[in-house]
Amino acid sequence: MTSQYGQDRFVLRALNGLRGGFFLDSGASDGVEVSNTRVLERAFGWTGICVEPNAALYAELVANRSCHCVNCCLYERDDDVEFVEAGTIGGILDEYHPALLERARGLLGAAPGGPPPTVRKPARTVRSVLREYGAPPVIDYWSLDTEGSELTILRSFPFDEYTVRVLTVEHNWSPARAVLRRFLEARGFRWAAALGCDDCYVSGAVAGAGPGAGLGPDRAGGGLFGERAVGHAWRSSVWHRR
């Protein structure tokens, strides 16, 4: 399986078909279904870290992927948190996306209008996870999809220690989308594209890489887009297995 909205293809365009890169996948689910990083790992030789707090999905993730897999929530502090364990739309209760509440209640058999059931989960900072698993100082791609806690996690990210080249962040069309964009642009990222409920950002170095970069102007949307450098890899069995 490939990503839900073409995030993996976007990353490879942005990074000129990079092989052997490093990813951080936050909210990795089972590592196969609509995974943003599976093609990078399987077809392009990337390594990285997949983080998934849901117990059942994590068990599948470990079986499906060869990279480091971590069973926790990412958050602004190392602590235990109340977690809405609602399949692929699970998230930290204090940060949970309001638009998902009714759906989560239905999945968990909770009464309409009431609080969804939660379980206690360990939460860790991004810094502690990256350090434990020996992440390089440059994270080529970060997929951030945590159902409401994205801004809190970004604000706690150690930008003084790690550089992120390409980032896709889920916004679910919430008011936080504009805040996320302002936050990232203040740190040198450039908005590049909208893919479904994700916004795509590239670091200033990637955006200004010149003629060799995989992205060029997107006349339709005013962002960045491109088709170069991916080549025959899109014909691989990994890419087309859906």
Residue 32 domain flag: yes
Residue 175 domain flag: yes
For the cut 90, the answer to whether the pLDDT of residue 239 exceeds it is: no
For the cut 90, the answer to whether the pLDDT of residue 59 exceeds it is: yes
Three-state SS across the chain?
Answer: CCCCCCHHHHHHHHCCCCCCCEEEEECCCCCCCCCCCHHHHHHHCCEEEEECCCHHHHHHHHHHCCCEEECCEECCCCEEEEEECCHHHCEEHHHCCHHHHHHHHHHHCCCCCCCCCCEEEEEECHHHHHHHCCCCCEEEEEEECCCCCHHHHHHCCCCCCCEEEEEEEECCCCCHHHHHHHHHHHCCEEEEEEECCEEEEEEHHHHCCCCCCCCEECCCCCCEECCCCCHHHHHCHHHHCC
213-224 per-position pLDDT tens digit? 555 444 333 445
Q: State what percent of residues in the chain have pLDDT above 70.
A: 85
Considering only residues 233 and 61, tell me which one the structure prediction assigns the higher pLDDT: 61
Average the pLDDT over each of 54-58, 162-166, 223-227 and give the range with the smallest value: 223-227
Q: How many domains does the chain have?
A: 1
Q: CA of 30: how far to CAs of 106, 217, 225, 236, in Å?
A: 21, 34, 29, 21
Residue 94 domain flag: no
End-to-end CA gap in the chain: 5
Mean pLDDT on 99-125? 89
Q: Report the pLDDT value the prediction gives residue 174, as an integer from 0 to 100.
A: 81
Residue 231 domain flag: yes
Residue 149 domain flag: yes
Q: Report the pLDDT value the prediction gives residue 72, as an integer from 0 to 100.
A: 98
Mean pLDDT on 145-169? 96
The domain that contains 59 carries what CATH number?
A: 3.40.50.150
Residue 117 domain flag: no
Average the pLDDT over each of 42-56, 81-95, 110-124, 207-221 and give the range with the smallest value: 207-221
Model's pTM, two decimal places?
0.86
Whose tokens are 């080249």? That residue is 165
**Mean pLDDT score across all residues of the chain:** 87
Tokens coding 151:
């801004």
For the cut 60, the answer to whether the pLDDT of residue 228 exceeds it is: no
Residue 104 domain flag: no
Q: Domain limits at 176?
A: 7-74+126-240
Residue 148 domain flag: yes
Whose tokens are 């059942």? That residue is 56
> pLDDT-based confidence at 9, cuts 50/70/90?
very high
